[in-house]
Chain A
Amino acid sequence: MDAFSAKLVVKLAQIEGVENVWAANEPPREWIDAIRTYAPYYARLFSLNPRQDGSALFDPDKLGSRAEGLKQALLSPQGGFVKAIAKQDSLLLSLNGFKDMQNQFQRQANLNSGGGALILQSRPAALDSDAHLRLQAAIRASFDSLNQSAGEKFRLSMAGVPVFSVAAQTEISRDVTLVSVASSVAVTLVFLLLFRSFSALHWVMMVQAASFVLGTLATALVFGYVHSLTLALGASLIGICTDYPIHVMVHCAKHRHPPLDAVRLLWPSLAMGGLTTIIGYAALGLTGFPGFEQIAVFALFSIFASLALTRWVLPALLAKSTLHSAHLPGIAAWAGFCGRHRRGLLSLFATGVILAFFTLPQLRWMDDMQKLAMDMDQLKQQDEAVRSHFSSIEPGRFVLVQADDIETALRRSEAVERRLIMLKQTGILSEYHGLFPWLVSQDLQAENAKVYAQALTPQFQEAWRAGLVKADLSLDKLGRLPPPIAEPLRPETVLASPVRHILSGQIIEGQNGAVLAIWLGEHDPVKLAEGLAGLEGTRYFSQKDQLDQLAGQYRDRSLLMLAIGIAVMGLFILLQQRNIRKVVLTLLPSVASVLFIFAIWSLMGEEVSFLHVIGLLLSVSLCVDYGIFFMDNRGENSDVTYHGIAASTLTTLASFGALGLGKTPTLPILALSVSLGVTLGFLLCPLLIQKPTR
């Protein structure tokens, strides 16, 4: 294994995206070389607790064994390394601060006695999935070529954030393709089933394609990039945008109106429907969930383009198309049934509403954001298996230290490290990776220097010389213990050296000050957080807790946006209708469906996340269109209007249903919420909105 690992290290180091690679159980050469550069500053960074450690470090009685230890170190295979340090730092004080690091590697060596665990530091950032996809392919190719010559005896497993980000990216790309294709095919099939016209399909799809392109361009202009999920959800928008031409075509087909006349007739309803849908997407964008702003901008421009093209371009395109509007079975029957049994059904509806309200307190909210994460059980098992070969650093949990400047941040992080040492002693924490002694505050350097200078008494110097004589070491070269170097080791000097690679990921310096990260080994989160209480600028960061907190915030915000969205839609409808009863009736089917869906989830014990709420928000923005069309009934034929609504419900179900095929949990949740919402809203329209007469 050792031989294979050594060859693999050499081969991996040649890959373009690899910054450094080394066997996990020993520090890379760069670290050893970096330690050597600290020798001149030995008196300034030997301890995190110089006053406490000074008594043992500068005990004259121990200097004999210290000198003997130095002699043995000089005779050991590491003699060359020790000699270079001892010439500047004969007491080897500069190595004292690095003892913990040595212990960590020793523990690592015990875990990885086979020598198969390697650490690879990449040049691209962990979340740069494209670069990591290439890098991981290159790593696998290097491994495979070596393994082939070794008789296929070895197996490669990788762990780390980039492995997950690449897997997520791959899944999302798969979802985008699947959802886009399925959604387009489903909408096309529904359209052909309804209108049986390839010519009309061709023109409508042209309109949708143009809307899609405009939405993509606008998103790229506003954000500078377009996320894959925007395109996946954007594909479902095709189904929504198709609604506008569909209403026009249903009226054309049923009433034999020329397309231009039908568009003029329906335009107020179409415009209001489009506006309420835009409001729904705007509310979605304001929930604060990353990425949804992009989807909102995409929707805004796509819907706007689709509406404009339907109004001013589509009539000309459809002029020569022959449309056959299919008679959808059950539509007229359901509308008739609602008309005949309105009273009874309304009583049933009212009872349902009351019961639904009673079930709401039982609603279970999903507070664990992990449940919304992609299912990567296999990858997680692989990650755990790989991590078992490494000394444990818990991913996603660390201590963040913040200050206005690096010096203050360092002082604070040193205070944190002192606490962490105590927590280690009590067993609350297994280990940690701080910045000491790679980076030491000026204050601590001064304190170290003071303790050292105080210890440097003539008696101490004499005892050291006696120790050297006893160990047969050179008095000339090792006997003089000079005072501390006057100039402290400054962070900018350290960070200009290769040490910056060692500390990469632990220091963020910006206009708002400096943030330092201290990585943690296995620990008790509650006790550790308690242990750090009272330390200024210090925060125990748990990614899971943070995400759970965010899940709660998003949920509250999405509920608020749902309410605001409904209110704004109501306001716009009021401005058009100028009749409060009509507004209430228009909104009622969609609002009632939301209530019933929440009640159903309550009874089923479904854990409801903010994504469920966002899905319902979208369903409301779509259902309100149905209410508007049904209420307006501009063709003065409610059967035709309801057929138009049925057709658009089918295309919406086809496009949003396709989201359910996605493996990214966000997509099936949205698919379920929107599909349930529009179906219920569609069914409630003829019941709640009395058959309009003109």
Chain B
Amino acid sequence: MILVALFACGSGTIDIKQDTGPTSSTNPTNPEPEETEEPEETEETEPPPPVAPNLVVTAPGAFDPIAGAALDVLVEADRAAALYVEIVDAKGTVVASADAAEGDSLGTAWSGSHPDGGWAPAGAYTLRATATADGVTAEVEQPVHLVRCGLVTVFADDDGVTGTRVPMWWHGDDVLQDVDAPIASIERMEDDLGAPVPLPAVMEPAARPTAGLTEPVAYVWDSRPILTLVPGDSVVFAGTGLDGVDVGVRVDGWSVVSGVPVRPGDPIVLQKDAAMAETLGVTDLDLPVVFTIEDGGATRDIATTTVPLRFLAMLDEPTFDNGDDQYEAWVAAVEPALRGIDGTSPDHTAALDALVGWIFNDLGLTYDTRYGASAYTTYTGGDWERANFYMSAFLDRDYGDTVNCTDCAGILGNYANMIGAYLGYVIINPSFDLNQILAIGQDEFTNCPFGPRGCGFSYHAVTTHDGAATIWDATLAIDGDGDPGSLPSTAVLVQHMTGEDYLDAIVMSGSPLYRYESQGSMQ
């Protein structure tokens, strides 16, 4: 359908259109203008009375000028005619109009502006079109709704059956995310000039939430998250105009559970169709929420709002033995950890293996090759089973990047338990001499990591979840070439090694044992 460009009239705007909207016609059973056969002229026959042009109007039943597009209108006549189209409000005031002196089509668009300035109020309007030819006028009317579709509040939920949301801990404020509170909200959908106010971006991981931004949300990886979206009202448009028209919602990959047709303030509930993720990690997305109407038997998109979201896919809920408040998934810890192991299979062993690799290779930590002194861990009461890890200080690197085995066990263990992979630590003592090891942050293998101060460990801390049957260690890589006592060496990370193999790999002489298995404490 090729149209012609016409001219602007009133507050309406004119452009070239190829519209796919529904149509109204003076001859609904034959909406397409057709050529009519010219009757043969005979002297005996009276000239036929003028016939009104067949008029077809194509326009959507609703439009959102802010989150969607202007109201596109196409008027077509079956022959050349004077075309006129107007938008009339409930009081009979013409808020927009356009005309064409002589033509068979008129394409125009109403921006939603009011001739007196500003925006026209949301609500019902009448679209009236006429075509006049040979002194006869055809007229078509159809309703059209100016609506405002937008969201002001977003909640992230679960139903406890198809998903588990894991509230995260803001350690700077000592508060847990309130799963009943919005993760994002804005006060109004538009600013005073009518410009749309977007839902806020997602805040970065930190000790405290950033006011005005969207909170990240964590779920167990195979959850199907539920989002509750609250449509807002519009001050600029004096309402939303939604009460008079059935507006639906479409979000690809999500099912609409309830809340349609959309009404201001009534929540729209969505649930993801499939599991949130197939791996552990972090998903950032701008979720397009499309508002639709049924128009002429077809679904028409009239507005789109984007919901910024950050989903953290956890292995499980946190697995600390300690039930105190702070033994939760810290936002500032789990988000970088899950990014660090993004794509890891949702499996306990795979998660721990990946964490070892991330901590050993990517956190910029260096083993204390002077003394093997801990920077972030103390043993409460001098008790090996009561290691207390200063997680908050570690996240800020308050005491530097130089760490020892106790610190690495605390780092690995606490990250692991936060993402839902159960882990504790165990002490290896008494002292023993070392085979070749590659300590974290070091470039070369050595069996004397402390130089002249020593070629062994007075003790060593590693992590386990099964009584030292299986060992993970982020402090060092072993020499995996089959000859761990001498160079050259092949670095192998300590990822689910048997406890026996691990001792064989690192102990040159001595008879150390695994003792004091515990999760310790964390703050």
User: Do A and B associate with each other?
Assistant: no
Query: Interface residues, chain B, CB within 8 Å of chain A?
Result: none
Chain A residues close to B by CB (< 8 Å): none
